[in-house]
Amino acid sequence: MAELHLIGQIVGASEFPDSSLFCKFGIHTGGAWKVLGGLREGQTQVDNPEIGDTAYWSHPIDIHFATKGLQGWPKIYFQVWHQDTFGRNELYGYGHCHVPTSPGMHKIDCVTWRPSGNLQEQIMQNFVGGGPQLKSADLIYSGADRFHLKTTAMGKVHMHLGVILRNFDKYGVEC
């Protein structure tokens, strides 16, 4: 079996309306992929930065995958949440990106979006906060059923990812 090591960090997030942020993330893979070591899901710390508008999470990622096929190459998906001074959490964005297929170090900025809902929901959100959320997290990384959604742009999640491949060339896969 070919192996993939994903080593890196979710550095932080910027360009969100408020910067006291945390993030829940996970890695979705196809059926042929197995995790041999490391955490597939996690939640970062809440950072309330003193300088600038970038929240830093410095959340380490170190996962070892084994696979029998390329179908379902790993995808990282995020939910960015905002925590206010009272400790209430509000959804700020969803986003996903593919793990790069080429080995080496990669700096990745992942854009995020949020469901905006209809006019009534938007007005409600403006005054009371909250807002629509996805019922199931699958929609973050799947292309089906997206056409129902109305969304708005939110900030970016920054990552440093290192990819190490093993034995892909043995099976003739050129990465």
Partner 1 sequence: MFPEFDDICCRYTFACGDDWTVTSGLEEGVTQTSKKSSDGRQIFVLNFPLDITFKSTNPYGWPQLVVHAYGSDVFGKEIVRGYGVTHVPITPGRHVQKLAMFVPESSSRFQKFLSWFVSRRPEYTDPTRVASGEGREVTRVRSQGYVTVTFNVVTKDMKKMGYDSTPSDVTNALPGSQTSAASPDS
Per the structure block, which two tokens stand in for 78?
Answer: 């995020």
Q: Which is nearer to partner 1, 30 or 49 (CB)?
A: 49
Stretches 51-59, 72-80, 109-117, 138-146: which one binds partner 1 (CB under 8 A)?
51-59
- CA proximity to 5, closest of 45, 44, 36, 49: 36
Q: Which long-range contacts (CB under 8 A, 24 or more apart) does 137-146 make?
A: 137/26, 137/77, 137/79, 139/94, 140/77, 140/78, 140/79, 140/94, 140/95, 140/96, 141/28, 141/75, 141/77, 141/96
Number of chain positions touching partner 1 (CB under 8 A): 48
- Write the interaction track for partner 1 spanning residues 53-82; mark x where CB under 8 A is met and - where it is not: -xxxxxxxxx-x------------------
Q: Answer yes or no whether residue 104 interacts with partner 1 by CB under 8 A.
A: yes
Q: How far is the CB of 151 from partner 1 (least distance, A)?
A: 26
Which residues touch 79 (CB under 8 Å, ≥6 apart)? 23, 24, 25, 91, 93, 94, 137, 140
Which residues touch 12 (CB under 8 Å, ≥6 apart)? 47, 54, 55, 56, 57, 58, 157, 158
Q: How far is the CB of 146 from partner 1 (least distance, A)?
A: 29
Q: Answer yes or no whether residue 30 interacts with partner 1 by CB under 8 A.
A: no
CB 73 within 8 A of CB 30: yes
Q: Which is nearer to partner 1, 69 or 162 (CB)?
A: 162
Q: Which is nearer to partner 1, 62 or 145 (CB)?
A: 62
Q: Which is nearer to partner 1, 146 or 170 (CB)?
A: 170
Q: Which is nearer to partner 1, 25 or 115 (CB)?
A: 25
Provide the binding-site residues for partner 1, judged by CB under 8 A.
Answer: 5, 7-9, 11-12, 22, 36-39, 42-51, 54-62, 64, 83, 102-105, 160, 162-170, 174-175
